[in-house]
C-alpha cells in the first residue's frame, strides 16, 4: 500500500492541465503527480521543473535524457522510476538495441562513447557519497559542452527527487510502466517490489 493515496486526476484542474505533458511522455499521468497534488503548489512546480529539465537545448537527446534517468534510478534502487524512465526512453526514440541492452551500456556496441560517459556521469552523480571526480569531468568535456552537462545534471537531480519521493511513498505503479519494466528490465531482476 502506498504511504499516501493518489487523488483523482480531476482534483486540481491546474495540475490536470499541466499533467497532460505526461500523456506524451508516458501515456498516462503518473500516480506520483496525483499524490503530489495534495499540495497543488508542489505538483505544479514539479511538472514545470520536469518540462524545463526534459526540454532539449543541445545535443542531449530526449532518448538519452531518459536513459540517464534510468541509470540514476537504477543506482538508487527505485523500481518505479526505473520502469518510468525506460518507458519514456522507448517512447522518445531510444534504439531498440539500446533498450534491450541498457544494463550493458558500458560495453555494448549500441552505445557511443559520448553516451557511455553521460551514463557513467549519471551513475557517479546518483551515488551516495557522490562519485563525480576529475576523471569523469575530463571524460565529459571530451564529448559535451557546459550547457549539455547542465542538462544532464538537471535530469539526474530531478530523478534524485523522484527516486526518494516514489520509494518513500511506495507509489503504486501504473500498468504501462509495468509493461515496459517487464519487457526491458525483468531479465535482469526488475520487479515491481513495493510499488504494487
pLDDT digit string, tens, across residues 77-93: 999 999 999 999 999 99
Instruction: For domain 13-188, give the CATH superfamily.
Output: AhpD-like (1.20.1290.10)
Tell me if 68 sits within 8 A of 105, measured CB to CB: no
What does the alpha-carbon distance between residue 73 and residue 69 come to, in Å, rounded to a whole number? Answer: 6
Question: Does 142 sit behind a cis peptide bond, omega within 30 degrees of 0 on the bond before it?
Answer: no
pLDDT > 90: what percent of the chain? 98
pLDDT of the residue at 75: 96
Residue 58 has pLDDT above 90, yes or no: no
At which residue does the C-alpha cell 514545470 appear? 48
Q: What is the pLDDT of residues 139-171, one digit of tens each?
A: 999 999 999 999 999 999 999 999 999 999 999
**Helix boundaries (H) for 62-193:** 62-76, 79-91, 96-100, 113-126, 134-143, 146-169, 175-184
With CA atoms as reference, report the closest residue to 155 among 29, 55, 68.
68
Percent above pLDDT 70 for the chain: 100
pTM of the complete model: 0.96
Question: Cα–Cα distance between 130 and 75 in angstroms, integer?
Answer: 11
Amino acid at each position: 500500500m502506498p504511504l499516501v493515496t493518489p487523488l483523482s486526476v480531476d482534483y486540481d484542474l491546474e495540475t490536470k492541465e499541466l499533467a497532460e505533458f505526461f500523456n506524451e511522455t508516458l501515456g498516462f499521468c503518473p500516480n506520483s503527480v496525483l499524490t503530489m497534488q495534495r499540495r497543488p503548489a508542489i505538483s505544479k512546480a514539479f511538472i514545470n521543473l520536469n518540462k524545463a529539465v526534459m526540454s532539449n537545448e543541445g545535443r542531449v537527446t530526449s532518448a538519452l535524457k531518459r536513459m540517464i534517468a534510468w541509470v540514476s534510478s537504477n543506482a538508487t534502487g527505485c523500481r518505479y522510476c526505473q520502469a518510468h524512465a525506460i518507458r519514456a526512453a522507448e517512447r522518445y526514440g531510444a534504439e531498440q538495441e539500446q533498450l534491450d541492452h541498457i544494463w550493458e551500456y558500458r560495453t555494448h556496441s549500441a552505445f557511443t562513447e559520448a553516451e557511455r560517459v553521460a551514463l557513467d556521469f549519471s551513475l557517479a552523480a546518483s551515488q551516495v557519497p557522490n562519485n563525480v571526480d576529475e576523471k569523469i569531468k575530463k571524460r565529459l568535456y571530451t564529448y559535451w559542452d557546459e550547457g549539455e552537462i547542465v542538462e544532464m545534471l538537471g535530469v539526474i537531480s530531478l530523478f534524485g527527487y523522484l527516486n526518494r519521493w516514489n520509494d518513500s511513498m511506495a507509489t503504486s505503479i501504473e500498468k504501462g510502466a509495468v509493461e515496459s519494466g517487464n519487457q526491458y528490465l525483468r531479465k535482469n531482476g526488475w520487479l515491481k517490489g513495493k510499488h504494487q
